Amino acid sequence: MIRPFQPVQPQARAMLGIGFFVLFVGVWSIFTFGGYVPRHFLVDPVTMLGDGWYLLTQRNFLYDIGMTVWRVVGGFTIAAAIGVPIGIAMGTYKPIEALLEPFVSFARYLPASAFVPLLILWAGIGEAQKLSVIFLGVFFQIVLMVAGSVAATRRDLVEAAYTLGASDSGVVRRVLLPSSAPDIAEILRLVLGWAWTYVIVAELIGASSGIGYMIINSQALMATGQIIFGIIVIGLIGLISDFLFKSVNRWLFAWRFA
């Protein structure tokens, strides 16, 4: 019997996760090999792997993957480096929150994809434009989520620090930051996934490399297998980065996950 919040053993967790992937591929194979789905609509897994091998060996797809990863890491890093300090300031000081929160809340609803024509006009079709799309897509989310995490710090810890003689800056350094650091790290892990959605948008227009560039070219050729392979590659890279991010977070904040 499964109970709420009942822990799962690591081996069982791995088997369940792998089992669902096997089930997914099995259903995909039944529909494609069985002829239930037109071939131009959805290719079978074997054909998809063959198209992927062609991309890797004949079309220099590894370079496209590297460019996409670089853009995601670059845009996300810039957004985090600027957004986290601003979010901490907003969560800590109410006047700063009153000043910035209305605009940040407004800006986070603006779709980054809508800025692509303007960014091409302002920054051209080079890397600056693509990094800017990713930056706009995740920056305001980071700011608000970090601010909310810092603002949720237990007030009794803050009051205890003041009682023990801590200064304002000491409260920030010794209470607010250590208390919210695990949550901020988790926020960054989640937002990194959003960055992957925006890099494809950035590469669909005015790009000469990248996974999104390959996908749009494959669409023109009706190469469904190549499109699916590109999507799966994005998912695999995202899954690996998510596991790495989670492992680093558990190592840095082992006391939180004990």
Binned at pLDDT 50, 70 and 90, residue 223 comes out as confident
* Residue 200 belongs to some domain of the structure: yes
Say if 197 falls within a structural domain. Answer: yes
Q: How confident is the model at residue 73 (pLDDT cuts 50, 70, 90)?
A: very high
For residues 10-20, average pLDDT: 85
Report yes or no on 53 lying in a domain: no
- The number of beta carbons lying within 10 Å of the beta carbon of residue 170 is 13
Whole-model pTM above 0.95? no
112 in a structural domain: yes
Burial class (CB in 10 A: 0-12, 13-18, 19+), 108: middle
Q: Judge whether 51 lies within some domain.
A: no
Above pLDDT 70, what percent of the chain?
Answer: 97
Reference 233, options 24, 36, 64, 15; nearest CA is 64
Provide the residue range defining the domain that includes 123: 58-257
| Amino acid in position 25 | V
Integer Cα distance of 35 and 29 in angstroms: 10
Q: What average pLDDT score do residues 17-41 get?
A: 88
Q: Give dist(CA 214, CA 19) in Å, integer.
A: 30
- Structural domains in the chain (count): 1
No. of H helices and E strands in the chain? Answer: 12, 0
**Within-domain flag for 44:** no
| Residue 2 pLDDT greater than 80, yes or no | no
Q: Which of 176, 173, 182 is nearest to 158 (CA)?
A: 176
With a pLDDT cut of 90, the percent of the chain lying above it is: 39
Please, which residues have CB within 8 angstroms of residue 186's CB and are 6 or more apart in sequence? Answer: 249
- How far lies 212's CA from each of 31, 61, 175, 205, 244, in Å? 27, 11, 43, 9, 24
Taking the C-alpha atoms of residue 103 and residue 176, their distance in angstroms, rounded to an integer, is 24
Q: Calculate mean pLDDT across residues 68-84.
A: 94
Which one has a higher pLDDT value, 215 or 116? 215
Whether 35 is in a domain gets the answer no
Q: Label each residue of 220-247 as H, E or C.
A: HCCCHHHHHHHHHHHHHHHHHHHHHHHH
The average pLDDT across 183-199 equals: 90
Of 51-65, 160-174, 209-223, 240-254, where does mean pLDDT reach its minimum?
A: 160-174
Instruction: Yes or no: say if 217 and 205 are a contact pair by the CB < 8 Å rule.
Output: no
**Beta-carbon neighbour count of residue 30 at 10 Å?**
12
- Which CATH number goes with the domain that contains 181? 1.10.3720.10
